[in-house]
Amino acid sequence: QSGSVAANPEQYDESYLCPVQVGGQTLNLDFDTGSADLWVFSTLTPATQSTGHAKYNPKTSGKAKSGYTWNISYGDNSGASGTVYADKVVVGGVTATSQAVEAATSVSTQFMQDTDNDGLLGLAFSTINTVQPQQQTTFFDTVKGTLAKKLFTVDLKAGTAGTYDFGYIDSSKYAGTITYVPVKTTNGFWEFTAGAATANNRSLGSVGDAIADTGTTLMYLPTAVTSAYYAQISGATNSAAAGGYIFPCDADVPDFHITIGGKSFTVPGEYINFTPADNSGEQCFGGIQPNTGIGFTILGDVFLKAMFVVFDQTTSAPRLGFAAQ
């Protein structure tokens, strides 16, 4: 089987939500190549935390996995936890007849407040799924064997709907050729080695170990690369108050170039002029921030929305394919 689902951007492209049928109920989920749990707001989530969200009702067709629990926390100190059911999950026509659906019994404030977001659909490797006592497979790993090709592609766009395709590569969605790089799976991420970064034809240094992460909004780069980039924007400062680099909204923000697999790819400066940093709208928050405390580079939506990316498990060695949109 194969299929395609729309990826609809939230305000400022903070995240992208896709309609998914979970036990016959449609929920808008954030597809996340940086985690491996499919968790949803549910009728088990306290009403004080689930107001405004679509909820999964396991009573309809879910089969409880008794004694199974899950508990996930993310680097931004958000998180959720709950119990586990097996149910039918359909994404763009691709059907998992018995997928582990992790029903939330508790969610953090950040998720509570984002009422467009009804949960996450993890697309990282199942080795980092949090279900206990027995780890569960991601939607992709559940259906992988039934797909025309064991791959999915990600085509996020700036300010408009993109797509996640499962089982095929739509060559109308990218320009030029796809450049493939090997993936290191030991941390459970789609992790690879990126190369040199430049802006205004000046070297910013090497990016190195990086993950392709649709669940993270921004790009978190090595501190040296980040400071060299912002040195080229007059008025840019690293503001503790704002939580990162900000600059005057009318500044000239240079394009960011990164080499992957020997090919150069460009993130337009306008994507890096990310959002107003304050109510005056005078200072804007940068789409590139330092990866302090993370240990690797995160190439999140700000990067991915300039690219067409193939998440490929067609061979025993997973790989990532990158092409310009």
Q: Residues in the site for ligand 1VS, rule: CB under 6 A?
A: 15, 30, 32, 34-35, 74-76, 78, 110, 114, 117, 213, 215-216, 293-294, 298
Looking at 87, 114, 118, 213, which residue is catalytic? 213
Residue 65's SS3 state is: strand
Give the list of residues 6+ apart from residue 295 with CB closer than 8 angstroms, or none. Answer: none
User: Nearest Cα to 297, choosing from 266, 324, 258?
Assistant: 258
CB of 291 to ligand 1VS, least distance (A): 8
CB of 248 to ligand 1VS, least distance (A): 26
Q: Which residue has the tokens 């680099």?
A: 245
Give the residues across from 4 on adjacent strands. Answer: 165
CB of 298 to ligand 1VS, least distance (A): 6
**What's phi and psi for 142, nearest 5 deg?**
-65, -40
CB of 200 to ligand 1VS, least distance (A): 28
Is the CB of 74 or the CB of 180 nearer to ligand 1VS?
Answer: 74
Is the CB of 30 or the CB of 165 nearer to ligand 1VS?
Answer: 30
Give the list of residues 6+ apart from residue 77 with CB closer than 8 angstroms, or none. Answer: 108
Cα–Cα distance measured from residue 62 to residue 25, given in angstroms and rounded to the nearest whole number: 11
Residue 32 among the catalytic residues: yes
Residue 82's SS3 state is: strand
Give the residues across from 305 on adjacent strands. Answer: none
Is the CB of 2 or the CB of 216 nearer to ligand 1VS?
Answer: 216
Looking at 13, 32, 118, 312, which residue is catalytic? 32
CB of 62 to ligand 1VS, least distance (A): 23
Is the CB of 174 or the CB of 311 nearer to ligand 1VS?
Answer: 311
The residue at minimum Cβ distance from ligand 1VS is 75
Angle at 71 between CA 65 and CA 73, to 5 degrees: 155
Residue 252 among the catalytic residues: no
Is the CB of 34 or the CB of 82 nearer to ligand 1VS?
Answer: 34
Instruction: Report, as residue numbers or ranges, the catalytic residues.
Output: 32, 213
